[in-house]
Chains A and B, each alone.
Chain A
Amino acid sequence: MNKLYILFKTTFINSTGINKLLKEKSKKERFRSISIFILILISFLSLAFSASINSYFMADALKAVGMLDLQITMSFILSVIIIIFTSIYKAQGLLFSSKDYYLLMSMPIKPNIILITKMLNLLIMNYFVLIFTFLPQAIVYFIKAENSSLYFLYLAVVFIFLPLIPIVLSSIIAFLISFISSRLKYKNLIINFGSILLILLIILISFYSGDLIQKIILSSKSISEGISKIYPPLIYATRALTVLNIKDLAIFIGISIVAFSIFIVIFSRSFKEINLRLEETYRRSDYKLGKITSSSKTAALFKKEARRYFSTPIYLLNTIIGPILLLIAAIATIIFGKEAIYTIAELEFSDQLIPLFIAAIVCGSLSMSCTSSSSISLEGKNLWILKSTPIVEKEIFKGKIALNILLILPAALISNLIFYISLKFSLANLIFLLIITIIYSFVTAILGLIVNLYFPKLEWTSETTVVKQSTSVFVQMLLSAFIVAVPIFVFIKGNITNINLFMILVVIYLLIVLSVLLIILNTVGVKLFKKI
């Protein structure tokens, strides 16, 4: 138990970087860490706020039809989905092929203690997310249902046990992905391809999910029966909270503990073997030197970036989803016409506004696909190679920006053309759209690089922490959203009627942003790179 505590404490401090907040001696660094922490907290609070508002209105509507309990069920389902999908990647980095594996296994600690520690780390991360997503909705339910204050005691217990089963599920999926991929030569290619297929499947299901859940619930004799078909343990959790039934609470705790314990017992037995198997790599050792081709410095740097990108599944999946979604949206307009756009926007508007809305979704999806915001961090311990070789900083930047542009621009331009054909807006609008897309793709790529130069994270144990959890990626998303939000805000508040004039102003605005970013990159950016 003592070892479990020591191990958990150390790995927790290491993975959260909490020492940066508490023990950093440099005042400047400490201020920076605290500012980032506050920024993240504000974002999570706004997430909690929007979750509360949404569930408040939903609760009102459900209460009116006498189905208030469905509100807590929906928040359970949402939480389980969030946990499963966000934990698959985390579990891959934490449980399998983690960089501290050999260090920990060489110590006199039982493998099940190591496994439990890692699972606890995964749990804590999920509790943090649940505080801002599930809890506000559960509190809204309490207010609307006017339950006794005993509700909070039940809620606390349900909250603690809620992530156990989803985490086990995502760990098993993560294991299967790692296991299959380690046995194949082109494992990254297969992981990339398989994951993209999975994402497309999820998108497809989510398109129909509203109908699906509705059908299941309607075809069931009661709501509870409907839930039990989707995810059986939730029926007990729901009953525990809605009618404060101690028996249901006990069953929910029991199921969660049994599932978690079975996982720990089975996996701790084979934890060592699984990790060793995953470490085995494919080596042919039959290379014969043939003709070698040479490239320019810029081309060599670009090739290096591209190889890094395609060999890191988490990097690729996290950034390729934007262009894929955009293409899907464009193709959807061929089939469904304007309706597809109205579905995305969740409201109907005049034809005149369609190009503006498309510009906004194109820019939004490009912001989601920024590879440059983690490109410096991903150099990690390899950074010495770029720093000790005769390459001008701007050449390095060019390689990273070029990769980002080449990944997003073709898909964005093709989507624009499809939108133009299917929605039949004017040629002038198409030209504006193409110009905005081109400028904004440079804006997002350069912005990402600058932000990463300001917030590099070179010490990491898994690429997942850089690509999904680093300050740089987070700040880039925020700033991109701000850049896109400014014209939208001006349009809404400014009562604008001349769309073409507005488009010209947007182009000028983006050109100014791009110029400022270029100046920053070529001056401050170069200095920052030298200092890393």
Chain B
Amino acid sequence: MLEIKNFSKSYKNGKKAVDNISIKLNKGEIFGFIGHNGAGKTTTIKAIVGILEFEEGEILIDGVSIKNDPIGCKRKIAYIPDNPDIYNYLTGIQYLNFIADIYEVSREERERLIKFYAEKFEILPALGDLISSYSHGMKQKLVLISALIHKPKLLILDEPFVGLDPKASHLLKEEMKKLCKEGTAIFFSTHVLEVAEKICDKVAIIKTGKIVAEGKMDEVKGNSSLEDIFMELIDNE
């Protein structure tokens, strides 16, 4: 579903933010992308979802290059950024409707899914209010719902658990598992290693732009905890 081949991205001064990384993610798999602050996680994610242009390497979504067919690829992706900066001047329902229009979700389908997810994440009564009046967590929930209502084949999440209350975090984890069973591939970055260890099928650890460990969760962590492996790899110069 997602294949990153020898992807590199340089800063303006020539220094590499991401250096020759390759990752493969199949349908129905959950992939955890772990690294310290500034390691290159968000840069990689932004390139996958088509926000960031890149020259070196290739990123394929369902076998299609994001460079060659960005619109076709974006149709299959839902992206949730690390900070829910969304249109404060719209109401919650107007934002969800806008996203549904862009992804061409039928009227019946969007009604059903908005009702389902808004009730699940307990945000339905607030959908008529302006987003500017929402708390950080409410905005996060709204972005999550907007990602789920167009049934993406690939869900990309950047630090999805930041700002969510415990119940919403639990719901999100459950939803991620459910989506995987239905065939959606999920790629997410996180600092919460316990969560990654629990729900991920595959994991990659990125350090200063390079992948230092990658593979199935059991193979990467062996008998240790993911946190021990992460600390060992990050501290090891």
User: Please, how many angstroms separate the alpha-carbon atoms of A311 and B88 in the complex?
Assistant: 10
The answer to whether B130 and A388 touch across the interface, beta carbons within 8 angstroms, is no
A234 to chain B, nearest CB (A): 41
A386's nearest neighbour on chain B, judged by CB, is B102
> Is the Cβ of A304 less than 8 Å from the Cβ of B87?
yes
List chain B residues, Cβ under 8 A from A462. none
Which of B81, B101, B124 is in CB contact (< 8 Å) with A296?
Answer: B101
In the complex, which of the residues A284, A292, A312 contacts B110, with contact meaning CB atoms closer than 8 Å? Answer: A292
The stretch of A146-154, A169-177, A342-350, A389-397 that contacts the partner chain? A389-397
Stretch at the interface among B25-33, B71-79, B165-173: B71-79
Smallest distance from the beta carbon of A77 to chain B beta carbons, Å?
Answer: 38
Measured CB to CB, the closest approach of chain B to A418, in angstroms, equals 34
Give which listed residue, A283, A285, A289, A385, contacts B111 with CB less than 8 A. Answer: A289
- Say yes or no: B111 contacts A300, CB within 8 Å: no
> Is A282 part of the binding interface, using a Cβ–Cβ cutoff of 8 Å?
yes
With a cutoff of 8 Å between Cβ atoms, the chain A residues found around residue B183 in the complex are none
- Taking CB as reference atom, which chain B residue is nearest A381? B85
Instruction: Determine the residue in chain A with the shortest Cβ distance to B78.
Output: A388
**Does A524 sit within 8 A of B, measured CB to CB?**
no
Alpha-carbon distance A198/B226, docked complex (angstroms): 64
Task: Name the interface residues of B83-117: CB closer than 8 Å to any CB of A.
Answer: 83, 85-87, 89-90, 92-94, 97-107, 110-111, 114-115
Q: Does B13 lie within 8 Å of A25, measured CB to CB?
A: yes
Check: A531 CB closer than 8 A to any chain B CB: yes
> A308–B87 contact, CB under 8 A?
yes
**CB-based contact A285/B51 at 8 Å:** no
Taking a contact as CB atoms under 8 Å apart, the answer to whether A297 and B124 are in contact is: no
With contacts A287-B93, A292-B114 taken as known, whether A385 is within 8 angstroms of B86 at the C-beta atoms is yes
Partner of B103 from the list A380, A389, A530 (CB cut-off 8 Å) is A389
Least CB distance, B100 to chain A, in whole angstroms? 7
Q: Restricting to A271-312, which residues have a CB under 8 Å from any CB of B?
A: 281-287, 289, 291-297, 299-301, 303-304, 307-308, 311-312
Tell whether B211 is near chain A: CB-to-CB under 8 Å.
no
- Is residue A215 within 8 Å, beta carbon to beta carbon, of the partner chain? no
Instruction: Say yes or no: A531 contacts B53, CB within 8 Å.
Output: yes
Residue contact B124 to A289, C-beta cutoff 8 Å: yes
Q: Which of B71, B107, B114 contacts A293 (CB 8 A)?
A: B107
Cβ contact of A287, chosen from B71, B105, B127, cutoff 8 A: B127
In the complex, what residue of chain A is closest to B128 when comparing beta carbons? A287
Contacts A281-B130, A289-B114: A297 and B53 contacting too (C-beta < 8 A)?
Answer: no
CB distance from A417 to the nearest CB of B (A): 34
Query: Is the C-beta of B198 less than 8 angstroms from some C-beta in chain A?
Result: no
Is B118 positioned at the interface, with any CB of A under 8 Å from its CB? Answer: yes
A415: shortest Cβ distance to chain B, in Å? 30
Does B124 contact A287, Cβ atoms closer than 8 Å? yes
Bound-complex Cα distance A320 to B2 (A): 47
B89→A283 contact, CB < 8 A: no
Nearest B residue to A185, CB-CB: B130
**Chain A minimum-CB-distance residue to B89:** A311
B101 close to A297 (CB less than 8 A): yes
User: Is the Cβ of B53 less than 8 Å from the Cβ of A530?
Assistant: yes
Contacts of B63 in A (CB 8 A): none
* B102 touching A384, Cβ below 8 Å: no
Minimum CB distance partner of B53 in chain A: A530
> Which residue of A has the minimal Cβ distance to B70?
A390
Contact A389 B124 (CB under 8 A): no
Asked whether A387 is an interface residue with its Cβ less than 8 Å from the other chain, the reply is yes
A380–B88 Cα gap in the complex (Å)? 12
Which of B53, B93, B99, B107 touches A389 (beta carbons < 8 Å)? B99
Bitwise interface map of A from 7 to 29 toward B, beta carbon under 8 Å scored 1, else 0: 00000000000000000011000
| Closest beta carbon of chain A to B199's beta carbon, Å | 23
Near B by CB (< 8 A), chain A positions 410-435 give: none
Task: Choose from A281, A292, A382, A388 the contact partner of B133 (Cβ within 8 Å).
Answer: A281
Please, which residues of chain A bring their CB within 8 A of the CB of B104?
297
Question: Which residues of A (101-118) have their CB < 8 Å from a CB of B?
Answer: none
Whether B125 pairs with A285 at a CB distance below 8 angstroms is yes
Task: Write the chain A residue with the least CB distance to B74.
Answer: A390
- Complex: chain B residue closest to A299, CB-CB: B101
Contact B81 A384 (CB under 8 A): yes
Q: Which residue of B lies closest to A295 (CB)?
A: B101
User: In the bound complex, do residue A300 and residue B102 qualify as a contact, i.e. CB atoms below 8 Å apart?
Assistant: yes
Q: Is B219 on the interface with A (CB-CB < 8 A)?
A: no
In the assembled complex, how far is the CB of residue A184 from the closest CB belonging to chain B, in whole angstroms?
A: 13
Report whether A384 and B85 are in contact in the complex, using a CB–CB cutoff of 8 Å: yes
Measured between alpha carbons, how far is A293 from B126 in the docked complex, in Å? 19
Known: A292-B93, A293-B97, A307-B90. 20 other contacts (CB 8 A): A25-B13, A283-B130, A285-B129, A286-B125, A287-B92, A287-B127, A289-B114, A292-B110, A292-B114, A294-B101, A312-B89, A381-B83, A381-B85, A382-B87, A385-B86, A385-B87, A388-B50, A389-B103, A391-B102, A392-B71
Residues of A within 8 A of B (CB): 25-26, 281-287, 289, 291-297, 299-301, 303-304, 307-308, 311-312, 380-382, 384-385, 387-392, 530-531
What would 22 A/B residue contacts be, using CB atoms closer than 8 Å?
Answer: A25-B13, A282-B129, A282-B130, A284-B129, A287-B93, A287-B128, A287-B129, A289-B93, A289-B111, A289-B114, A289-B127, A292-B110, A297-B102, A297-B104, A300-B101, A382-B86, A384-B51, A387-B51, A390-B71, A390-B102, A391-B102, A392-B71
Q: Which 10 A-B pairs have the closest CB atoms?
A: A287-B128, A300-B101, A311-B89, A381-B85, A390-B74, A281-B133, A390-B75, A283-B133, A287-B127, A387-B51
